[in-house]
Amino acid sequence: MPGFIRNYSVYIRPFYRHYLIVIALVFFSVMLTLPTPLLIRYIIDRIIPARDFSQLNLFIAIIFGLYCLRAGVGYLINYLYVYVGTLVSYKLRENIFTHLQSLPLNYLNRQYAGDFVSRIVNDVNVLNGLLTSSFIDFVTNMITFVGILILLIILNWQLTILNAITILLFWYISKTMKTRLRKNSRAIQEQSSLFMSKLYESVYNQKTIRAFRLEEAFLGSYLAELAKLNDLNIYSIKLSNFVQQISFIIISFGPLFVLWYGTRLVFTGVFTIGSLFAFYQYLYQVYAPVSSFVNFNLNIQAAWGASTRIYDFLSLVPEEHGNQVVEQSIRGKIIYRDVTFSYDGGTPVLKKISLEIEPGQYVGIVGASGAGKSTIVNLLMGFFGGYEGEILLDGHRIADLSPGFVREQIGIMTQDPCLFKCSIKENIRLGRLNATMPEIRQAAAMARIDDFIMGFPDGYETIIEEKGENISRGQKQRIALARVFLRKPRIVIFDEATSSLDASLEKLIQDTIERATEGTTCIVISHRLASVVNAERIFVIDDGAIVEQGNHFELVERKGYYYSLYLKQFMLEDTRKE
């Protein structure tokens, strides 16, 4: 528990005054509750025998007034802890999302999207419940327990000591079950992540699932994960229920003993009926806090798994990067010097890559799929670190520069561009958030998509459906291209941007790219040589190394690896035409 408080004190500390106010209100609320059995004792022992209706009315009014006052204080307590809980959850979710965006991409690529959803939604909800309602209940019951214990000792210390045995049994049960409950809670959180990942995967790949008639297979996989989660939840419920029912049996014994022994004391004149009633009432009230301590312990176990997963995630080391920002404008000269890179220390993906790209130069990087072409530009973008060698941008080491600054200089377009579920205007504006509407339309015109957009009834306000389902692949490509043009970067990267398009559409977009990027450093990555035949220089990659470089005609004349790729693609095109 101390470690838990230490880990999350940063979220609680800004609201310590709110917590102190809540604790003070809780104390006041308990003080309003404790006198009631004593007041009833007075009614039984004094007012009823004396048949004093005026005093009876007064005491009933006092008790009712205490109830009303306690209800008002209870409202304030509930409002404050809900208010604080909402803000704590907001800050925690903000930090999780912010931290997510700072982690290395090679870590994120290994994770399931559902796992992040589970951490942000489920785990935070569980933890928030502990830091708010469970915490308030614990404080309330702790103050109540201490107050009632003092009153019980005053009423009859012998009976109080005898009933302390049941309290010790409660704590023994809680301690015995603690390890099992914590382990099972962690397992539930982990299985919830796997279940949500499977659900997320199934929902977002329905087209493929239906096309290959995989409904039954995915249903079986989904139900298998759901069954595991259900088994863990059932076990947790059984374990928690066992603890609660055993606790109920134990706490039922104490009041019965007090009723039996207390009645004997009344018979002997040691106890009054009012005192027996008050002791009996207080004893029942003291068992409620003791029972809640067990429940609070169960809540801690439930929250422990969630809090550990959140803390483990927030403890992941962010990507390392520099913070230098170059004052003068970037021209776009890129140099790689003996760059070697591998993912997670495995087999090198890039091997001693050395290349130089001049400002405003139009270059191509070609090679078979998996040769390492995209990895080259991913290192330039700062998506991955931990490489050997140097990458320079206008003479500045990329490792020393702020990733944000570097990425501001670059516009990138991939084979399957990401379009968000918002308007076409907002999708294009992502290239430069402060762009005006005329600038957005100019960029769209450069990408030859303006006329198409204006054909929609809502024009640029047309909402793109999730994953761009309401537009064609070529239209998606050109909207993404408009986003790049709007950015007006010094370096433009096209990573297999046209490889999935038909020849005529690819030619149209290639012409658009070449015309719009004139004077800008342009890097075209492709396994289709037709995309780079006009490049000033082509770097040929095979198995993570540069095996050739030159322009198209020079490389064809050498009859090397590029020439073999050229012949294969040329023969394939001829075969398709036949």
- Domains of the chain, first to last: 1-156 (1.20.1560.10), 334-417+493-575 (3.40.50.300)
- Could you give the CA distance from residue 363 to residue 522 in angstroms, rounded to a whole number? 6
Where is 55: in which H helix or E strand? helix 53-102
- Could you give the CA distance from residue 30 to residue 183 in angstroms, rounded to a whole number? 35
Residue type, 572: L
Q: What are phi and psi of 555, to 5 degrees?
A: -70, -35
Residue type, 263: T
Task: Look at residues 320, 313, 484 and name the one whose alpha carbon lies nearest to residue 399.
Answer: 320
Q: Specify the length of the chain in residues.
A: 578
- Could you give the CA distance from residue 371 to residue 4 in angstroms, rounded to a whole number? 47
Q: Would you say 373 and 367 are in contact if contact means Cβ atoms under 8 Å apart?
A: yes
Q: Would you say 510 and 498 are in contact if contact means Cβ atoms under 8 Å apart?
A: yes
Going by the DSSP 8-state scheme, the letter that residue 47 receives in this structure is I
Q: Would you say 80 and 22 are in contact if contact means Cβ atoms under 8 Å apart?
A: yes
The predicted pLDDT at position 109 comes to 62
Q: What are phi and psi of 433, to 5 degrees?
A: -65, -25
Q: Which residues contact 167 (CB under 8 A, 6 or more apart)?
A: 290
Going by the DSSP 8-state scheme, the letter that residue 460 receives in this structure is G
Q: Which residues of the chain have pLDDT under 70?
A: 1-8, 106-120, 170-171, 174-175, 178-179, 182, 207, 212, 291, 294-295, 297-298, 301-302, 305, 320-328, 467, 498-506, 509, 516, 570-578
pTM above 0.75? no
Q: What are phi and psi of 212, to 5 degrees?
A: -100, 10
Residue type, 171: W
Task: Look at residues 11, 280, 72, 333 and name the one whose alpha carbon lies nearest to residue 163.
Answer: 280
The predicted pLDDT at position 264 comes to 85
Torsion angle, alpha carbons of 53, 58, 63, 66, to 10: 170
The predicted pLDDT at position 363 comes to 93
Task: Look at residues 567, 535, 528 and name the one whose alpha carbon lies nearest to residue 551.
Answer: 535
Per DSSP, what are the bridge partners of residue 341?
A: 350
The predicted pLDDT at position 192 comes to 81
306-320 pLDDT, tens per residue? 777 787 778 777 776
Question: Mean pLDDT, the chain, as a whole number?
Answer: 82
Per DSSP, what are the bridge partners of residue 350?
A: 341
The predicted pLDDT at position 574 comes to 45
**Which of left, alpha, beta for 245 (phi over 0: left; psi -120 to 50: alpha)?**
alpha
List the structure tokens of 127.
Answer: 């933890």
The predicted pLDDT at position 173 comes to 72
